[in-house]
Amino acid sequence: MFHPVFRARRIRGKEIFRRMVRETSVSVNDLVYPMFSAFGSGIRKEVSSMPGIYQQSIEHIVAEAKEVQELGIPAVILFGIPETKDAVGSDAYSEKGIIQETIRAIKANVKDLAVITDVCMCEYTDHGHCGIIRDGDVDNDATIDLLAREALSHVRAGADMVAPSDMMDGRVGAIREILDKNSFSHIPIMSYAVKYASGYYGPFREAAESTPQFGDRRSYQMDPANRLEAIREAQADIDEGADIIMVKPGLPYLDIVRELRNHFKQPLAVYNVSGEYSMIKAAAANGWIDEERVIMETMLGFKRAGADIIITYHAKEVARWLMK
């Protein structure tokens, strides 16, 4: 049909009609809120590049977790800043590591909030890479053994889900195997299946104190130019036992989110990463954009592309706006 028989503006003309035919919506149930737990007490240090996001000691993490739960957000994902770091990231899999203690504190004090843990080594190694260094690069197979131990330690502490973010080959299978052998077959794995070597991670590296001390992560994270490789990576993780697959970053890779949505039936997450957050915050602080409108449009973009779950530092703001 053509104008004047077809007039798209007939439906757009009234808010009630726009609501009736709206194809995509955002719910508080879609959200996961990232948190940075720091060793010590009395710590609540704002990340300079991420306004409103803090490195916090456990008592403050628990207080914010209560706030998150009261807003109806179903889950948090935890990142740790240990007291000390070493070449093998030993705090990552220590029974008394920063994340293990944080999990116990949240589970003891905040009911009905799911605790997801990031499983990686970069926050815990003194060199800032995501595993054991051999001959100037990360040793894949030596690293996956430690990642499996880390995941098991998180689950023993009470984690509801583990999320390996390291991009080592075979790590999902290793984690699934160790969890199953230790009677944790019910614990799901949300795999960072498609994680690109991106420039959008800069503010996170300040927040998690995880900047590599030499080189970069391009030998294990994906080339931003590649699309078909994303399908292979996601399929490999699904075959190894991933229950949820993830794309990271979000906004520059919406085509990849849609590609995975078209190929796979598994639940699909997207990580709205630190650089994306910081750019919006900076533009809003300068009065260049309508912050609420742009953030909500961003969330809709993730859902329209096919994401079921959105990991975002905006989660608390979005939850409050959805309550209006």
Distance CA 175, CA 129 (A): 19
What are the Cα distances from residue 55, in Å, to 144, 294, 309?
27, 26, 24
Distance CA 166, CA 36 (A): 17
**What are the φ/ψ torsions at residue 133 (nearest 5 degrees)?**
-90, 125
Active site residues: 195, 248
Omega within 30 of 0 (cis) for the link into 188: no
Omega within 30 of 0 (cis) for the link into 4: yes
Sequence-distant (6+) residues with CB within 8 A of 122 are 128, 129, 130, 166, 208, 210, 212
The residues facing 26 across adjacent strands are none
Distance CA 265, CA 183 (A): 27
Distance from chain centroid for Cα 207: 14
